[in-house]
Every structure is written in C-alpha cells, then in structure tokens.
C-alpha cells in the first residue's frame, strides 16, 4: 500500500496541476480578449511552458509578448 507521504504528495501535485490549468486557461482567455485570436506563437508558448522557478522569468515582458502575438506565428 502507498505510504501516507506519497498520497499527500500526490494530492498536492493534483491540486497544483488544477491551479496551473486554471491559470493557463485564464492566460489564453486574456490573450484572446487582448489580441482577438488564440494563435499564440511557439516562442511565447515555450517561454511560458518551460519557465523555471516561480514564473518570475525576466524574459516574460510586455515587449516580448507584443513581438510574438501576431496571428500565424505559431
């Protein structure tokens, strides 16, 4: 039988995943509201999906998002 510690960690991971999924959906919805499409560039997706740490990546800037937000860049 799985240990209590493993069960606790699995529950924490599930909770974190649900929170991340909600944040991702909110980001895509906000992007669509601002730019009128959801054709998000590969560069922008990679920057967000592979960001390290707490999401404080210095590369995530208004300028970067603007430069990579035209339709057809994915």
Domain ranges of the chain: 20-74
Residue 56's closest CA among 47, 65, 43, 69?
Answer: 47
Q: Say what the pLDDT of residue 55 is.
A: 59
Which residue's entry shows tokens 């909770």? 15
Model confidence, pTM: 0.76
The string of pLDDT tens digits covering residues 15-29 is 999 999 999 999 999
**Residue-level pLDDT at 39:** 94
Give the DSSP letter string of 35-51: HS-----HHHHHHHHT-
């Amino acid at each position: 039988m799985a240990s209590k510690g493993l069960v606790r960690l699995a529950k924490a991971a599930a909770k974190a995943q649900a929170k991340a999924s909600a944040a991702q959906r909110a980001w895509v919805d906000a992007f669509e509201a601002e730019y009128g499409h959801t054709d998000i560039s590969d560069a922008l997706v990679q920057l967000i999906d592979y960001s390290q740490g707490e999401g404080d990546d210095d590369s995530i800037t208004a300028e970067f998002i603007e430069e990579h937000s035209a339709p057809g860049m994915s």
